[in-house]
Amino acid sequence: MKAQAWLEQTLPQVIINDTTLRDGEQTAGVAFTLEERMQIASALAAAGVTEIEVGIPAMGEREAHEIRAVAALGLRSRLIAWCRRRHSLAMCRWSICRSLSLISRLRGSCGAIDAGCCNRRKG
């Protein structure tokens, strides 16, 4: 058996989840332009990052538009968006679908129910 095949069968899959586009903007004085978001997402995908947290659509139409723009790049990375849970989980899922129109490329991020996050969806 070749070493590469053996490694692929033996080692567990590693998932790298990057929060730069979501959590990075929570740093004082940091606000990415759309061009910067797209460049960062492209660089992360090129580096092999498995999952990219692209933002929080509930922040407003600008944020939702920029998330859609990143999704339109067609990157190999799985895109994740956070949403607020105001009502039922079904309403939360509907909110993501309506805001992004890209549910097939999206996974809602997990979190405690009290924190208001959406459940994780298989994309």
State if pTM tops 0.95.
no
pLDDT digits (tens, 9 = 90+) for 76-107: 999 998 876 655 556 556 555 555 544 344 44
The C-alpha atoms of residue 93 and residue 64 are separated, in whole angstroms, by 15
- Whether pLDDT at 60 is above 80: yes
- CA dihedral over 95, 101, 103, 109, signed as positive or negative: negative
The C-alpha atoms of residue 111 and residue 119 are separated, in whole angstroms, by 7
The C-alpha atoms of residue 99 and residue 66 are separated, in whole angstroms, by 11
- Rg, the chain, Cα only: 16
- Whether pLDDT at 36 is above 90: yes
